[in-house]
Structure 1
């Protein structure tokens, strides 16, 4: 039997965003896991990558699997870069590259701390938002690609399984607002995590991507 602990931000800690009496992600994960398995929430709404090591202090002693979904708030904190005036596309790419490099350093430090617990661990990409403004949506998706590049590279380099939330939350109904998962989106996230922790062979130390149809 296993005990899955969710680390990160409001992708997991989404109780404040679902409709009244609708389940949040951790409750849906409990329902999706096989009998005898448990799930706990250590993720905190608003958390950034640097917050996750502190969440490790909330791990239950019988935790068997860790799943991390973080990075969206790191991106939100640097959206000022998108409004800067530059003289060329090359200059813009240099600015964005600096943001990416800073996130990469933070993400590696975070992942080192999580893996230091010695438990089977999986990570999640940052899903695409659902902004009603088409221009803002295109800019956000392009910018988030840099952050997701960091996450996927680290997952593959460390041979970790990965839930690609860009494919899991793929329709408007999967979102409660432009950046938070709805109960329907949460159900898909929970199903992806349940499939991963029960179906992935962590002993083989092999990267594998999980998504939903």
Structure 2
């Protein structure tokens, strides 16, 4: 029996990046071009989405979906950078403590989203937040490492496949000239290829793609 693949993309502008590649293809378009009919891909991800807003996206997952791919957390990181990371502190130790407390809500929300997606009982792949964005400073990199720990820990705990965008999008050309925090045409092509590899076969244990 022939099984049709229907990939559903959830999350933020990592997938919903069309307006940031006016002269190129979005991740969704790259992915669609890699598929052979009747296989298809649906874009449910929304630009500027945060982790807890994915719960609303779940309601729009097509009934025909066979694979789910989630990339979210970058906008939550931007919020933490503008709030918590701007606070004064007496020591690095105290700063790390504040950061840990600040991401407790994010950790809970991310685990809640993963729990809801797993209830759908479809193969689920998640993505880390990339950290080779041009102009990113050392403090932001340190903050992203803490948030990415939540993503990878949750993925491995639940036996999910993981696309590590930190290793995948490792060149300045992978980022949009319109907005450096979004994938470019080239970066989108890399991400689409990694998604294709992830959905090509589902293993019992977590796999990492980059």
TM-score range, shorter chain: over 0.9
**1:72-122 alpha-carbon deviations (Å, 9 max, x no partner):** 011111112111111111110110111232211110011111111111111
Counterpart residue number, 1:130: 133
Deviation at 1:129, TM superposition (A): 4.7
- Contact 2:123–2:202 at 8 Å: present in 1 too? no
Counterpart residue number, 1:156: 156
Counterpart residue number, 1:42: 44
Alignment of 1:112 onto 2:115 = yes
Structure 2 segments unaligned to the other structure (5+ residues): none
Deviation at 1:145, TM superposition (A): 0.4
- Contact 2:132–2:172 at 8 Å: present in 1 too? no
Q: Specify which of 2, 19, 24 is matched with residue 22 of structure 2.
A: 19
Task: Give secondary structure in 2 for the equivalent of 1:147.
Answer: helix
**1:128-172 alpha-carbon deviations (Å, 9 max, x no partner):** 15243xxx5211111100110000001100000000001111100
Q: State how far apart, in whole Å, the 1-side matches of 2:134 and 2:86 are.
A: 17
Alignment of 1:183 onto 2:185 = yes
Deviation at 1:36, TM superposition (A): 3.1
**1:4-58 alpha-carbon deviations (Å, 9 max, x no partner):** 00000000000010033x2111110011234532111000000000011110111
Structure 1 segments unaligned to the other structure (5+ residues): none
Counterpart residue number, 1:207: 206
Q: State how far apart, in whole Å, the 1-side matches of 2:90 and 2:149 are.
A: 26
Counterpart residue number, 1:29: 31
TM-score normalized with structure 1 length: 0.92
Q: State how far apart, in whole Å, the 2-side matches of 1:34 and 1:146 are.
A: 39
- Contact 1:129–1:178 at 8 Å: present in 2 too? no
Counterpart residue number, 2:85: 82
RMSD across aligned positions (CA): 1.3
Q: State how far apart, in whole Å, the 2-side matches of 1:175 and 1:167 are.
A: 14
Q: State how far apart, in whole Å, the 1-side matches of 2:127 and 2:133 are.
A: 18
Q: State how far apart, in whole Å, the 1-side matches of 2:200 and 2:161 are.
A: 12
Task: Give secondary structure in 2 for the equivalent of 1:195.
Answer: helix
Q: State how far apart, in whole Å, the 2-side matches of 1:34 and 1:137 are.
A: 41
Counterpart residue number, 1:196: 198
